Amino acid sequence: MAENKIEIGSHCLISWNVGIADSDFHPLEPAQRVIDAQALAPFFKNRPPRPKLNTAPVKIADNVWIGMNAVILKGVIIGENSVVAAGSVVTKSVPRNTVVAGNPATVVKTFTA
């Protein structure tokens, strides 16, 4: 789901149940979440406007493989030829030719060519 922009390059493999988020989808502050819930409730009359969400585009370069159940968070750029292991939570950008794994995802391998 995108509030801002999610860009996916050519020849990418994205497995099932992968989450790609360019925002937090809901405010983090408790009082703002109450307003957000009211703004989204279809039965709530005179709904208030949704609070502003922090967004940052996500870019997935060419020839990237993202394993099942991985989560890519806002503002992340995944470099060309990289691999995101299954179940990883990517919170920071990934250099090209790199394999990342874990929560939060860390570099586990770099390809030489």
58: phi then psi, degrees, rounded to nearest 5:
-115, 135
Give the span between the Cα atoms of 100 and 88, in whole angstroms. Answer: 8
Contact 94, 108 (CB under 8 A): no
Give the span between the Cα atoms of 29 and 32, in whole angstroms. Answer: 5
Give the span between the Cα atoms of 91 and 105, in whole angstroms. Answer: 7
- Kindly state the tokens that stand for 77: 């750029």
Q: Count of alpha carbons within 13 Å of 23, Cβ hemisphere only?
A: 14
Q: State the catalytic residues.
A: 26
